[in-house]
Amino acid sequence: MNTSTPSGTAPRDGLDAHATAAHASHYSRTAMILHWLIALLIMVNVALALSAESLPGEWVRPVIDTHKSIGITVLGLALLRVLWRVSHRPPPLPREFPSWERMAAHAAHFLLYFLMFALPLSGWMHDSAWKAAATHPMHLFGVIPFPRIGFIMNLDPAVKEPLHDQFGALHTYLGYALYALLAMHIGGALKHELIDRHSVLKRMVP
Ligand code: HEM
């Protein structure tokens, strides 16, 4: 039995075996890479979306196209991350943490997983309902052809126009939920780091 794994779950690959066996209180290397890569891409994507309106006209289309490509990349990485999560048990939170804090952390993590899917999917739905979608095919990073959601793109324009606005509003509200959750997630990590002096951040850094 692998007693050094927090849950007794067997590590699945060489990197994970090393990471899990050597530091039972750390996430595996795969989990760390996925965490920081997704975090970086989400922040870049929010910055691109929020700056789009204030950019010179000729920049808007390439910036929004990059935003779409990064968003679809996040969707793929989120899928990998969920596969990692269901096949590995993360290191448990320190026993000293009060139950309300554990519950808040678990709720925030669950909702962040939800948003890693809901944000790209709502953006993709919004984009698929765009009236010019059929005449402006999507290419990931300008190179790889990527489909729109066919049944949305092919709807009657009278149905599609209001849907485009509604999906756009959904995308925006999910963005607001993301800001609130990120504040809670980062604020919680900083509280443990600076006030409680009981780091949880080090579990997610090599
Ligand atoms: C990590 C995933 C994503 C994040 C965090 C994200 C976030 C955002 C945010 C914060 C906005 C600004 C909303 C507002 O304040 O009104 C936005 C706008 C937008 N997003 Fe996303 N998004 C993601 C993925 C996608 C995807 C996959 C697509 C399409 C395939 C997409 C298409 C759009 C479009 C078309 C806009 C409107 C831009 C404009 O015309 O100003 N997004 N997104």
Structure tokens at 159: 């149905």
Task: In whole angstroms, give the CA distance from residue 62 to residue 59.
Answer: 6
* Inside any domain, residue 24: no
Per-residue confidence in pLDDT tens, the chain, 206 aa: 233 333 333 343 334 444 443 445 889 999 999 999 999 999 999 999 999 989 998 999 999 999 999 999 999 999 999 999 999 999 988 888 899 999 999 999 999 999 999 999 999 999 999 999 999 999 999 999 999 999 999 999 999 999 999 999 999 999 999 999 999 999 999 999 899 888 889 899 98
* Inside any domain, residue 13: no
* Inside any domain, residue 6: no
* Inside any domain, residue 3: no
CA dist list (Å): 187 to 102, 109, 110, 111, 116: 14, 13, 17, 16, 19
* Inside any domain, residue 19: no
Cα of 49 vs centre of ligand 1, distance in Å, is 6
- Which residue's CA is the nearest one to ligand 1's atom 16? 172
pTM for the structure as a whole: 0.88
Number of structural domains (the chain) is 1
Quick one: pLDDT at residue 96? 85
What angle separates helix 29-51 from helix 157-190, to the nearest 10 degrees? 120
> Atom of ligand 1 at shortest distance to CA of 175?
10
> Atom of ligand 1 at shortest distance to CA of 130?
35
Quick one: pLDDT at residue 6? 38
* Inside any domain, residue 7: no
* Inside any domain, residue 85: yes
Quick one: pLDDT at residue 24? 57
Range of the domain at 195: 29-204
Cα of 47 vs centre of ligand 1, distance in Å, is 10
* Inside any domain, residue 140: yes
